Chains A and B, each alone.
Chain A
Amino acid sequence: MDLTLLLQLTLNGLIVGALYGVVAMSFVLIYKASQVVNFAQGEFLLVGAWVCWWFLTEWQLPFYAGFLFTLVFMTLFGLVLQVVVLRPLIGEPVISVIMATIGLGIFFQALMKWIFGVFAKPFPPIFTVERISVLGLEVQTVYLVSLGISLLIMAGFGWFFTASKHGLAMRATAFDQQVAQSLGVSVPKVFAMSWAISAVVSSVAGVVVGVVNGVSSALSFYGIKVFPAVILGGLDSIIGAVLGGVIVGLLENWAHYIDSEWLNWGNMFQIAPFYALVIILLIKPYGLFGTKNIERV
């Protein structure tokens, strides 16, 4: 037993899990507000990371400026996507909307390859200190910063949904669009806002992962990783998304530990979350925190 490795992997799991949680939250945000299962969530990370990379390398902007511009760009990106592609689909069958998001995913995947090429490209170095040791464990600075950002985003989401006018409107819309409208809530605005926020938040995760691993189309794989996290937590629960993300992150890394210590099968870390998903869904079909539909008769 290698205890340091286990601790190191646990820490990695928590940090990566927090990132999954962030992406899962932005996925849930769209689902909650507009009942759309967004299969292009991973491509939001991809587009965000590439755009940031472009600002930093082609324009030679300092990181904070490039990052800020990326956020602005992604806000517009999310808005335009909703208005141009998804708004006309309001009222169409769910399956049409899902197909449209799958199409969007493929489109942006290909577009990014066309513009930026198929090879992974590294970000210019951002932090002067690459790694810091925390309690004897080596952690990449980027990851520590990302953990901070993740927590900040989570707190922001919590505040947004419980205390802000728009968050309340969003919850109302999720519950019943007709009623929300009768109370003066503009449903198209709520939809557009949810896509914009979702795109921005996902792109933050995209940039962080891009800084660590380089930017390539592999980033969009996060969109698939998010599914076990989201379904685990319950499709319509923000807290569930966060916990689901952390659980998936931990499971991956623990599976990796077990694999490397004893099994030597090679790719346990990729499939372990999905096994856990199946088991949890057998016991709790609505996920850990999902809302059951209970009707009074």
Chain B
Amino acid sequence: MADEDPILSAEGVSLRFGGVKALTDVSFSVRKGEVFSIIGPNGAGKTSMVNCVSGRYRPTEGRILFDGQDITKLGPNRRAGLGIGRTFQNLALFGHMSVLDNIMVGRHHLLKAGFLRGMMYWWGGAQREELAHRAEVEEIIDFLEIQHVRKAQAGTLPYGLRKRVELARAVALKPKLILLDEPMAGMNLEEKEDMARFILDLNQEWGMTVLMIEHDMGVVMDISHRVMVLDFGRKIAEGLPEEVMAHPQVRRAYLGVDDEAVNPAEIDA
């Protein structure tokens, strides 16, 4: 299913905040069409890595390539325009806006009618454009099963639904690569199953490559094609889910060891 050419590759990415090393020399690539998960203990640098990809942080060293293009120096909005969508670990919906408006913001870079054409709504195609967009937005809404709340104010929705609206907003961008930062955090079993189904559908039917951070090992093992493990800002393993789980360093990172602390520098991944 996943072909070999990478859609995203990170080459020797390091990120420092003053003396704190959030990431040290991390390299990996995500292949077109796969579900790639990043796991690791708390504070391992997973979100930092995703932020480097989305452009919120700029790596101190290293390069990030997307679709063959060096995007290391591009701002987050330019990256979104190229086709990188994301959701956030802590919900980041526009609480006072309706669900529909939240999703329409995701269409921003796809909406072409600017100020003047917008003023002449019925001429110049602005209306036609809006109708086309609304059709696509409705499709996304149907897919994520949030029809019943689409006029509701986003901030008033229960948690599970807000997570879905946030996903819908990222999908509305029509990204080639979607970054999901803990899409299932704080969900109950049923909600997790729904979310896993949405992610698989996005991947298989909508053709999006997924880069996901998730703590729920069951989900990660079930839906990921490949997994990368970070610990203290370093990559300690990468491979198929089973391989990674069997990896001794991974077991140590997750379960701890009795003897002296592990020095990550000695680890060859």
Chain B residues with CB below 8 A from A172, complex form: 94, 97, 105, 108
Separation of A164 and B101 alpha carbons in the complex (Å)? 11
Chain A residues with CB below 8 A from B81, complex form: 184
Residue A121 at the chain B interface, CB threshold 8 Å: no
- Output the nearest chain A residue to B95 by Cβ-Cβ distance: A175
Asked if B77 and A181 sit within 8 Å, CB to CB, the answer is yes
Asked if B97 and A171 sit within 8 Å, CB to CB, the answer is yes
Number of A residues, CB within 8 Å of B: 21
Partner among B86, B94, B118, B169 whose Cβ is within 8 Å of the Cβ of A165: B118
Chain A residues with CB below 8 A from B94, complex form: 171-172, 175-176, 179
Residue A102 at the chain B interface, CB threshold 8 Å: no
**Beyond A175-B95, A176-B92, A182-B86, is A168–B105 a contact (Cβ under 8 Å)?**
yes
Residue B44 at the chain A interface, CB threshold 8 Å: no
Asked if A175 and B97 sit within 8 Å, CB to CB, the answer is yes
Residue A218 at the chain B interface, CB threshold 8 Å: no
Separation of A244 and B118 alpha carbons in the complex (Å)? 29
Chain A residues with CB below 8 A from B118, complex form: 163-166
Partner among B86, B88, B105 whose Cβ is within 8 Å of the Cβ of A169: B105
Return B11 CB to nearest CB of chain A, in Å.
Answer: 23
Q: Which of B56, B92, B105 has the most CB of A within 10 A?
A: B105
Return B113 CB to nearest CB of chain A, in Å.
Answer: 7
- Output the nearest chain A residue to B88 by Cβ-Cβ distance: A179
The 0/1 profile, CB within 8 Å of B marked 1, for residues 171-193 of chain A is 11001101111111111000000
Return B189 CB to nearest CB of chain A, in Å.
Answer: 22
Chain A residues with CB below 8 A from B114, complex form: 165-166
Q: Which 10 A-B pairs have the closest CB atoms?
A: A184-B80, A184-B109, A181-B76, A165-B111, A179-B92, A175-B94, A172-B105, A164-B118, A186-B77, A181-B77
Give me the interface of A with B, judged by CB distance under 8 Å: 163-166, 168-169, 171-172, 175-176, 178-187, 291
Known: A172-B105, A182-B88, A185-B108. 16 other contacts (CB 8 A): A165-B118, A166-B118, A171-B94, A171-B97, A176-B94, A180-B105, A181-B77, A182-B80, A183-B77, A183-B109, A184-B81, A184-B106, A184-B173, A185-B105, A186-B75, A186-B77
